[in-house]
Amino acid sequence: MDDPNNNTSKPLRPMRFGIIAEGCVPSGMTHHRRYKQMIAEAAFAEEMGFDIWGCSEQHFHGGFGISSTEVLYGAVAQHTSKIRLRHMIRLGLEFNHPIRTAEQAATVDLVSDGRLELGLGRSNTPAQLDAFGVEAADTKAQMWESMDIIVKAFSQETVSHEGRFWNIPEPVPLTPKPLQYPHPPLSIAATSVESITQAANKGLGVMAMDHYTGWDTVKAHADAYHQHIQSPTDPVTSVVNNSLGFLCLPAYCDETDERAHAVGGPGALEFAQALQFLYAPMAKKSADYAYFNDVTQFADKVNDLEYFLETTPSMMVGSPEFFIKQIRRLQDLGYDEVILRVDGFMSHEKIMNSLRLIGDYVIPEFRHPHNIVRHAFSGGAP
């Protein structure tokens, strides 16, 4: 594999930091308490210097997932003032009418003073598709048609549409319009080179995820995006969002690697195990999801934390020094942002401490390296 640190052809862009919350509720806790904690975590992430906070739309997972993301964004908007609020992701499927998605996004953009960002996806779990009656083979086409309608609604006085999944026969205005002009930044979540290339050719940002097969895949995805985003061949918007993000699912930072592995390791491995039960069945639903079967390549490693930490940045569990090393490598490959899932069935206090360590020791390395005081100390980060 090419040396990821040998990238001197172009200057590195500033790295942005994001948090993705997925509503993981520890056993014995109520959703009520956990949602209040997530709002507090978003406000603290802003204080710690994070650029973006968001969550993914998930259904039918019990103690995991946020089903009404747009409602939670409205609450977080009232407890923050600077951090941007991004859908990571909003499902662009037929049960979410694109006009409703545009209306809700525009409303959050207004109440947040122009901080909303909209990312679409097409689902990665069988239960969601089955319960809402969505054919797996149609999800990609639905997501792209949804994006087309949303862009029209945002940027045109009125929108009408005749398509495969939605028809708007008479022109209607979007009410309200978003505060950001002509619309909030747009992106998609992508797990394949094909989807990343298509998004780049449409002028959209990408949140790349599920790189569990290794750093070669991480590099291939970055190369594909940067090759095509320079001159989009099929832009859906007049405003190109040249932004390549990397999602770390899961992530946990503690004072030392040993403490991080002890606290965050079990949840990280549980996530790797869950992928076997979620993604392998999806691979059988449609050829469009066939690459999901890649998870079977590490089926015998789901109890080996060291394997994942060495093989992929998709699982980031360690000290601030470990985070800096991994994120620097992503930056060298051309990623503009790292989005961390510091939310995995652990206590609110542990999550807050992880956010504190990232804010105190990791983010400054990429934002203010000249201002950091460096001297030897023992025992890890204070």
Residue 157, class by beta-carbon neighbours within 10 Å (0-12 exposed, 13-18 middle, 19+ buried)?
exposed
Kindly tell me if the per-residue pLDDT of 9 is higher than 60.
no
Q: For residues 353 and 320, what is the distance between their CA atoms, to the nearest angstrom?
A: 12
Non-local (6+) Cβ contacts of 146 within 8 A are: 92, 93, 96, 98, 101, 120, 165, 166
Query: What's the sign of the alpha-carbon dihedral 193, 198, 200, 201?
Result: positive
Output phi, psi for 84, to 5 deg.
Answer: -80, 150
Lowest average pLDDT, out of 82-96, 231-245, 250-264, 366-380, goes to 366-380
Residue-level pLDDT at 2? 42
CB 250 within 8 A of CB 260: no
In tens, the pLDDT along 67-122 reads 999 999 999 999 999 999 999 999 999 999 999 999 999 999 999 999 999 999 99
Kindly tell me if the per-residue pLDDT of 30 is higher than 90.
yes
The number of domains in the chain is 1
Residue tagged 């200057």 (tokens):
11
Tell me the whole-structure pTM to 2 decimals: 0.92
Residue-level pLDDT at 42? 98
Instruction: For residue 163, tell me if it sits in a domain.
Output: yes
Kindly tell me if the per-residue pLDDT of 264 is higher than 60.
yes
Residue-level pLDDT at 286? 81
Instruction: For residue 189, tell me if it sits in a domain.
Output: yes
Q: For residues 381 and 60, what is the distance between their CA atoms, to the nearest angstrom?
A: 39
Instruction: For residue 3, tell me if it sits in a domain.
Output: no
Instruction: For residue 377, tell me if it sits in a domain.
Output: no
Q: For residues 322 and 296, what is the distance between their CA atoms, to the nearest angstrom?
A: 27
Non-local (6+) Cβ contacts of 236 within 8 A are: 147, 148, 151, 186, 202, 203, 204
Q: For residues 291 and 146, what is the distance between their CA atoms, to the nearest angstrom?
A: 23
CATH number of the domain residue 340 falls in = 3.20.20.30
Instruction: For residue 381, tell me if it sits in a domain.
Output: no
CB 364 within 8 A of CB 274: no
Instruction: For residue 185, tell me if it sits in a domain.
Output: yes
Instruction: For residue 127, tell me if it sits in a domain.
Output: yes
Range of the domain at 29: 16-368
Instruction: For residue 375, tell me if it sits in a domain.
Output: no
Q: For residues 283 and 124, what is the distance between their CA atoms, to the nearest angstrom?
A: 10
